[in-house]
Chains A and B, each alone.
Chain A
């Protein structure tokens, strides 16, 4: 009798689980539709930045130019974000779907007048105004104010209905102007910038509009910067000892080879005691971020030069094939590390300088990127993300990707000024919903600066980022490194002994194949002679 009951339960479960599974997987995917990558006269590729920001609010992001929108496309996504950099949307099919869409529509940009003719929202987008000095917004019933130090013109917006909800407004003394507002399923965000007050408010309000990945909430990372083979090993150990004593896991931005001004390269295996020092640090809570190969390449000494960007001419690498150069550089750097049993888990380009193409390439090798992003292929400019990004991926073969965002600065002076600056920066951003970030520290600075910062952040009850627990992967050519719940697994299919072994197995295969053919010949001969023997009438008694 109970068998029937169990059968029922099983049937119930087999039906129920996929359904709920489906429900979870169909959620929260985002389509970004844009008109141009940049605003008029701007250097920053807004689509590149917003893709990263929005990834923290989505399970998957597809980006398309407005002309690529086909029939019935918008309805397949939970959220549609329209980036209006120049206000030039000509695809009638897209407009049609936009106006009739029932899912979440967020229009974000600085050229919004095209909304008037399609009457997407009951509002009039009018001329630009240049004199707003503050942004006010509501947070838990409390009105907050943030200074806006920007000359960017924002459109004057006249709201035509009472039931439009305003999430944030520009203010100039008595005058206010809607910045972020919401009507039914549509949100409009104007006055978009990638730094300063507007940036913070927009980042904060995104959590009111979309569902945020909370992986990094309230986390700070501590990064020991430019750790190259000629650093003072005792100081490095001192820093590691201190951080361990405070139970603070940390990142080590490792430069595996030192390229001095003569052009000579010294690798970390060649400096006595260095790889042991690195292991000393990783044993005390440190994780390795690969910080380039030599942190040079375009004429300067290690630790100062650009490696993945032509810093002298302020342009991408053009004197050789950029893709090949980046791949070789990273591969050689990893090989040096792995030879000393050092396993990087993330990547940080020197000065954060790398073209957008280079960034996408590096994202194929490393699942964790650390630092700031450069949203330009033409000039060196960086944008700080207001929180670290966790890009979930439902593809079991790909796994999650992360951007650990450095948005607090670094210790550059030994007099406490840097500490104050970093703390100020933190205080400005900490109220952004989902804020997380990090700072870095050069090991030749006074450790007292670091101690002040650690003690401050401990009082803020933040969590310190431990890369080892993040499930990261590094994959390039035959190198594979994986960090799995605190355990690092690395396999290099190309180590020297393996080549020997591969040669031997190859030799065996060749010998075996020859023997196989030999045996086939023997077999065929025997069959031939068997027929002859039968024909000759000899008794086949043997």
Chain B
């Protein structure tokens, strides 16, 4: 009976979507609770350091001539004893002026601990993981911080991170918050700004509050050298090396702490083409990690990972397949006689979901200074119909590319770089 199959497919997608929506709402509420706690306990954020550990800041750079100066300068501006940290820029086979600029920076800032590693054709050009691993070999810090080459961290960012990890021995790493520097540039950056805020306050903070876990976002984080050595450095095969190393830390029973007052500002893609490339890469990378760790989800050490893996699987596979199925059923219902026989007040459900979606984001925006603007609100209202739909495209493309990569065994460890803008 044809209608039965359609009904079951619909039920599957219906319940998947609603399960995930509920789960996300629960996470969001966790995130708000976390924020609430921190707001009223601001004094807890004051650094209480008896002594300053030595920190090595790693900055992998590949063709970063447009931004590297500003980045390095902001490193020098950090509120931390100058003799207690070093900045290691790994110039990974840049073909532009990065090398010359770095040489000039080192020359004119000799009072700062700036080390520049220029990779060679043999050991370089193999991606961010590889660059970081090269940086490690020259790092002498007790703690390793990583920043992307376009990041400008706020002066207190580093000390907040150090303060958190020193006072919590179970942390193998701590992460800060990242903000969109070019958020006013165009509609896309406005959407990205809303997205990054929502993600960090609802998903990261939510997971942290409810399950005590969060994952490394690739920049503005501090990892203990001891832990890093234990997990064997970064996986050179992983595109999403940040997610991957998070899981490795969990495997070794380390936790990752959230330090939202350690803030860095980064440049987000300003054109759709760049955005698509970046996000597709993330999706591919995440799928790789999820598949790698899926078999180990049920072992005892992994109960924390289980939630994260479940989360990723549910987003990429469950949610995506459900969206595709329910969209297909909807379109089929318009053009053919094949319909579901299950009736329900779908319009009301959809409106409720949409309202909840919008208000969740608006709450997040109100948590950040200067973000509850009318302009932002207007973007929130249309974000579902525009930006969010692009994610479906990205997810499908990422999945497709991941599969074709396996089939055709493409070399995955080429450096995937996000283009910079002036």
Contact = CB atoms under 8 A, between A and B. Distances in A.
A516 B39 CA distance: 23
Interface residues of B, number: 33
Interface in B32-74: 32, 38-39, 42
B337 A516 contact: no
Contacts, number: 72
A274 B28 CA distance: 57
Given A516-B355, A519-B363, A509 B349 contact: yes
A540 interface: yes
A511 interface: yes
Nearest to A540: B369
Interface in A488-542: 489, 491, 493, 495, 497-498, 501-502, 505-506, 508-509, 511-513, 515-516, 518-520, 522-523, 526-527, 529-530, 533, 538, 540-542
A542 B11 CA distance: 43
A529 B32 CA distance: 13
Contact of B345 (A493, A509, A518, A523): A509
B129 to A, nearest CB: 32
A498 B369 contact: no
B356 interface: yes
Contacts of A529: 39
A526 B353 CA distance: 22
Tell which of A489, A498, A508 has the most Cβ of chain B within 10 Å: A508
Given A505-B349, A523-B363, A530-B366, A515 B39 contact: no
Given A489-B337, A508-B18, A519-B359, A526 B369 contact: no
A523 B359 contact: yes
Contacts of A542: 38-39, 260-261, 367-369
Interface in B195-233: none
B58 to A, nearest CB: 26
B340 to A, nearest CB: 10
The prevalent SS among residues of A at the interface is helix
Contacts of A508: 18, 349
Contact of A513 (B32, B38, B352): B352
Nearest to B177: A542
Contacts of B238: none
Interface in B77-95: none
Contact of B32 (A495, A522, A538, A541): A522
B376 interface: no
Contacts of A530: 366
Given A526-B367, A542-B38, A491 B341 contact: yes
B362 interface: yes
B357 to A, nearest CB: 10
- Interface size range of chain A in the complex: 20 to 34
A533 B39 contact: yes
Contact of B348 (A502, A509, A519, A538): A509
Interface string B128-156: 00000000000000000000000000000
Given A509-B349, A538-B42, A526 B355 contact: no
Interface in B259-318: 260-261
Contacts of B261: 541-542
B110 interface: no
Contact of B356 (A497, A506, A516, A540): A516
Nearest to A526: B366
Tell which of A505, A511, A513, A538 has the most Cβ of chain B within 10 Å: A505
Tell which of A497, A513, A516, A527 has the most Cβ of chain B within 10 Å: A516
Interface string B1-20: 00000000001000000100
Nearest to B348: A509
B343 A493 contact: yes
B378 interface: no
Contacts of B260: 542
Interface of A: 489, 491, 493, 495, 497-498, 501-502, 505-506, 508-509, 511-513, 515-516, 518-520, 522-523, 526-527, 529-530, 533, 538, 540-542
Given A508-B349, A512-B349, A530-B366, 5 more contacts: A495-B341, A509-B348, A526-B32, A541-B369, A542-B369
29 contacts: A489-B337, A498-B342, A501-B11, A501-B344, A502-B344, A506-B345, A508-B18, A509-B345, A509-B352, A511-B22, A515-B25, A519-B25, A519-B28, A519-B29, A519-B359, A519-B360, A519-B363, A520-B359, A523-B359, A523-B363, A523-B366, A526-B366, A529-B39, A530-B366, A538-B42, A541-B261, A541-B369, A542-B261, A542-B368
